[in-house]
């Protein structure tokens, strides 16, 4: 998501070897599902830009740093006591041995309670 992309970009600026893992097929987290234009200041939050475009912009900025690798369609499953990380990468289990771990796992919606909110076909963007 945007936090992971921003962190990886900052690390890339300092030529730090970095692996960014994203469970979706494109970088950007929930931004790839956002079709509305964001509000706020242009400088701080790219106001007036649609979320899925922000995800693409952040991914393009990140791509210029050769010290940063990205794994899409991948899920970090577990951090073991020896600090190794188990990752499911495109259906294959991998074991990564990082020097440091930065967890930017993203957000989940909290639905407001209302009658019938447990019925089928009531979704938030995070369901996809």
Q: Is residue 21 in a domain?
A: yes
Q: Is residue 22 in a domain?
A: yes
pTM of model > 0.85: no
What CATH number is given to the structural domain containing 48? 3.50.50.60
Q: Domain range spanning residue 113?
A: 2-123
Number of domains the chain is built from: 1
Residue 126 pLDDT grade (very low, low, confident, very high; cuts 50, 70, 90)? low
Tell me the pLDDT tens digit for each residue of 100-113.
999 998 766 666 66
Q: Is residue 128 in a domain?
A: no
Name which of 49, 86, 51 is nearest 71 in CA terms: 86
Q: Is residue 88 in a domain?
A: yes
Tell me the pLDDT tens digit for each residue of 18-73.
999 998 888 887 777 776 666 655 666 666 677 778 888 899 999 999 999 999 99
Q: Is residue 100 in a domain?
A: yes
Distance CA 81, CA 99 (A): 13
Angle at 77 between CA 73 and CA 83, to 5 degrees: 120
Q: Is residue 127 scored above 60 in pLDDT?
A: no
């Amino acid at each position: 998501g945007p936090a992971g992309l921003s962190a990886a970009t900052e690390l890339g600026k300092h030529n730090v070897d970095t692996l960014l893992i994203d469970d979706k097929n494109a970088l950007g987290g929930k931004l790839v599902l956002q079709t509305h234009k964001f509000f706020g200041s242009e400088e701080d939050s790219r106001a007036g830009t649609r979320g899925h475009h922000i995800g693409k912009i952040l991914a393009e900025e990140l791509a210029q740093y050769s010290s940063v690798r990205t794994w899409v369609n991948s899920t970090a499953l577990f951090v073991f006591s020896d600090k190794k990380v188990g990752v499911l990468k495109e259906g294959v289990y991998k074991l990564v041995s990082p020097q440091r771990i930065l967890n930017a796992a993203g957000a989940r919606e909290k639905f407001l309670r209302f009658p019938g909110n447990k019925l089928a076909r009531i979704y938030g963007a995070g369901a996809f």
